[in-house]
Chain A
Amino acid sequence: MVLPILLTMGGLVFYPLLSTAWDSLHRVNPMQAGTPFVGISNYTRVFSDVEVGQAWLNTFKYVVIAVFAETVLGVLAASLINQLKSGRQWVLAAVVLPWALPGVVSGVIWQWIYSPGPGLLNGLLVMIGLDYEGHLWFNDSTSAMLAVSVVHIWRMLPLTIVIVLAAMQSIPGDLYEAARIDGASRLVMFRNITLPLTRGAIAVAMTNATVSAFNLFDEAIVLARNSLETRPILLQIYLEAFKKLNFSYGMALSLMVTFISLAISLGYVLRIHRSTRLD
């Protein structure tokens, strides 16, 4: 009964994973004969490669922006929805919607919103009297990074909301009741009850946010093509492998991304775990 799953996973995940690790220590390029052993040179090359360095930097920026925004906005939005007495289900369905859409299609939708001529964003800004007619959001590295991040946040925020909201809903109501009798304000209750009791869920949400920000690809390629200023590491890997045909270099990069994103996620979990234990 477990045979089908083991065959599929073995053939399509474990075998390729080992193969990635093995090949990243060799030179694999369909344009060149042979696959000589090159040690860790595919890994050390990263440090002298300007494009790859820039792509790493961009990815770290995306991670910081996305995780911060998704956590703060997600906790806020979840507590808002948690206050609703009626219609909570419908609000939740509407909020989840962006997450369910294909990433590239979100990219295309936002590309249209950002477009200088007929775009919604410039149109709205002009409508409220600002001089944004024909403004180009992608001609400045900061605003381009932010524009790509906004689309990613739009898509991934729902996941944080759902996770945090579920944790909030499981907090027993009498805790708040007791606090209210003690005369605690909403803010105090949020800080002393809600936050500590949803900490675990927030850590889980942050882990998800981190991993998905490391995986950012669709939004960037649709909105800004190969532009170096917004190019995340995954797009760099794609270009290395399928444009430049440096297979083994691409593999070394993808393993590095895997380890770093796992390490960072683990970091949150441990940290949150420790601080909850102290409480």
Chain B
Amino acid sequence: MRLPKPNLILAFSVVLMATTSGIALADDAKPFAGQTVSVLLPSPQDANMAADFENATGIKLDLQTASWDDVSVKISTALLAGTAPADVTEFDWSWTGQFAAADWYTPLNDTVDAATLDDIKGSTIFNVNGKVLAIPYTNDFRVMLVNKKQFADAGVTVMPRTLDELVAAAKAVKAKGIVKYPIGLPLSATEGASTSWYLLTKAFGGDLFDKDMKPLFTAPDSAGYKAMAFEMMLLKEGLVDPASTGLKDSEINETLFAKGLTSIMISGEPGRLGAYNDPAQSVVAGQVQAIPVATESGKTRSFGLLEGLGIPRNAQNPEAAKEFIKWMTSKDYQIHNYANGVLPTRTSALAELQQQGKLVSGEALVEQAPTVEALFPSGAPAWYPQFSLAVNTSINSAAKGEITVEQAVQRIAEAAAEAVKQ
């Protein structure tokens, strides 16, 4: 498993490395030496980031970190208040529409070259009307995470490629009594429930909206409808823990999957694998791996939840901020930062990690990477937070049996219509 098969490397190189160009990290001149740049990112970050950055550019780094939720609140309150939260901040994919509508961020078109944008394919989702508002630095696309030891114990040797095989594997694990609820799926009224449904909608071969932002998930034969019905079926069959109606995705990750209490994370984050396979912090080390998202047809699909770096309009030191973004999204740093659980956004960096055999579950990631789509091809709309709230609220109600799948998709469609109208 450690070394990829030659043909994979070949396919990988063709698909991903074709676009790679040499990334020359600035020249030796350090025009901004002695200045300071403030940066606000979710924790954790590399402990030596400040020293490394100063060595490379001569710029002092004032790094503030907090949990993603805190960072999100801090950024939006500061921006609503008309101040810059920092010179460089986290810029989540889901904020794109809101932030673009409010014109809160400086376009970065001149900051990075075309080759870089090409190497970082995900940057298109931060591109609004030709303005690149952020550069992705962490590649949180979704895969499925499975506990292969539990699969093996249940006699499942071939990794599932279709949803039917996935359900069969889960049933086998449950039948053997290895775990009580083999599938981890958040069903609470939180963001994780929304993103899992989006992923399953893709897995059923569909999309959320058409080009005119008309909902595509209300008809019973639509992918979104089938995805939600699938979630309810998993719950009813006892494959998903009924307590999931009160659990966030991070809780399911940490208290169930990482503890060996569930075998499959439907919407898994590949970045977490490093920590889960570290015997020092995990009881499932060596047991877990990523597989490409199983789909109805067997042809895998996924989508990216990229996090980027952006510069707020009234940042105090925008020039140094640009240097920071260039540095943090450079190929060298991305390869270095993988050790901290940050999956590179550059296909060239991914390829190099894979060639060196450093990528955990590299094969799966390599297979998944080219299939990653944007959830909203033209960027997250301004009303995304409102839409997402309706999605997870309705899924939560349906999972508790308060409303039917039909009512749930109907409510989501109504909320989407209401949101678009405003």
Q: Do chains A and B touch in the complex (CB under 8 A)?
A: yes
Interface size on B, residues (CB 8 A): 29
Residue from A30, A226, A239 in contact with B190 in the complex, judged by beta carbons closer than 8 Å: A226
Q: Is B393 an interface residue (CB 8 A)?
A: yes
- With A32-B422, A226-B393 already in contact, the answer to whether A139 and B386 are too (CB < 8 A) is no
Q: Scan A24-37; emit 1 where CB is below 8 A from any B CB, else 0.
A: 00000111100000
The interface residues of chain B lying within 8 Å CB-to-CB of A186 are: none
The distance from the CB of B99 to the nearest CB of chain A, in whole angstroms, is 10
Say whether A31 contacts B101, CB under 8 Å.
yes
Residue from A30, A134, A244 in contact with B389 in the complex, judged by beta carbons closer than 8 Å: A244
Docked Cα-Cα span, A51 to B393, in Å, equals 9
Question: Which chain A residues (204-246) contact chain B, with CB distance < 8 Å?
Answer: 224-229, 239, 243-246
Question: Which chain A residues (70-106) contact chain B, with CB distance < 8 Å?
Answer: none
Residue from B98, B243, B396 in contact with A228 in the complex, judged by beta carbons closer than 8 Å: B396
Say whether A228 contacts B189, CB under 8 Å.
yes
Interface size on A, residues (CB 8 A): 24
Say whether B243 contacts A225, CB under 8 Å.
no
The interface residues of chain A lying within 8 Å CB-to-CB of B245 are: 136, 138-139, 227
Q: Scan A131-144; emit 1 where CB is below 8 A from any B CB, else 0.
A: 00010101111000
Q: Please report whether the interface of chain A is mostly helix, strand, loop or mixed according to DSSP.
A: loop
The interface residues of chain B lying within 8 Å CB-to-CB of A51 are: 390, 393, 415
The distance from the CB of B309 to the nearest CB of chain A, in whole angstroms, is 22
- With A138-B246, A243-B385 already in contact, the answer to whether A227 and B98 are too (CB < 8 A) is no
**Quick one: which of A30, A138, A245 has the most chain B CB within 10 A?**
A245
Q: Is A116 an interface residue (CB 8 A)?
A: yes
The interface residues of chain B lying within 8 Å CB-to-CB of A18 are: none
Docked Cα-Cα span, A45 to B245, in Å, equals 30
Say whether B246 contacts A141, CB under 8 Å.
no
The distance from the CB of A28 to the nearest CB of chain B, in whole angstroms, is 12
Say whether A31 contacts B98, CB under 8 Å.
yes
Docked Cα-Cα span, A72 to B414, in Å, equals 42
Q: Is B347 an interface residue (CB 8 A)?
A: no
- With A29-B422, A243-B385 already in contact, the answer to whether A50 and B243 are too (CB < 8 A) is no
Say whether A139 contacts B242, CB under 8 Å.
yes
- With A32-B422, A139-B242 already in contact, the answer to whether A226 and B189 are too (CB < 8 A) is yes
Q: Is B267 an interface residue (CB 8 A)?
A: no
Residue from A29, A50, A136, A225 in contact with B242 in the complex, judged by beta carbons closer than 8 Å: A136
The interface residues of chain B lying within 8 Å CB-to-CB of A245 are: 98, 385
Docked Cα-Cα span, A133 to B422, in Å, equals 47
The distance from the CB of A110 to the nearest CB of chain B, in whole angstroms, is 13
Docked Cα-Cα span, A136 to B243, in Å, equals 7
The interface residues of chain A lying within 8 Å CB-to-CB of B300 are: none
The distance from the CB of A226 to the nearest CB of chain B, in whole angstroms, is 4
Docked Cα-Cα span, A228 to B393, in Å, equals 6
Say whether A141 contacts B101, CB under 8 Å.
no
Q: Is B358 an interface residue (CB 8 A)?
A: no
Docked Cα-Cα span, A239 to B386, in Å, equals 9
18 pairs of residues in contact across A and B, judged by CB atoms under 8 Å: A30-B80, A51-B393, A116-B243, A136-B243, A138-B246, A139-B242, A139-B400, A139-B401, A140-B401, A141-B400, A226-B190, A228-B189, A228-B394, A229-B402, A239-B389, A244-B385, A244-B389, A245-B98
